[in-house]
């Protein structure tokens, strides 16, 4: 059941794709694992805007 929950959570995250406030292009979810920046972030490939997803 845990696996199903995780899939649903991922679907929820990817279904509401916000737009970049800097250049209005679609943001992509990326996972950072570096020091100080861990977790999922919305990332803009055009202007490198980055924001936490809250997950």
Compute the least distance from the CB of residue 44 to Zn ion, in Å: 3
Three-state SS across the chain? Answer: CHHHHHHHHHHHHHHCCCECCCCCCECEEEEEEECCEEEEEEECCCCCCEEECCC
Total number of residues binding Zn ion (CB under 5 A)? 7
Question: Rule CB under 5 A: is residue 6 a binding residue for Zn ion?
Answer: no
Cα gap 45→51, rounded to integer Å: 12
Shortest Cβ 29–Zn ion spacing (Å): 14
Quick note: the x/- pattern for Zn ion over 8-47, rule CB under 5 A, is ------------x-xx--------------------x-xx
């Amino acid at each position: 059941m845990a696996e199903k929950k995780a899939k649903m959570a991922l679907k929820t995250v990817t279904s509401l794709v916000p737009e970049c406030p800097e250049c209005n292009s679609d943001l992509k979810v990326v996972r950072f694992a570096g020091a100080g920046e861990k977790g999922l972030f919305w990332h803009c490939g055009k202007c490198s805007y980055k924001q936490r997803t809250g997950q």
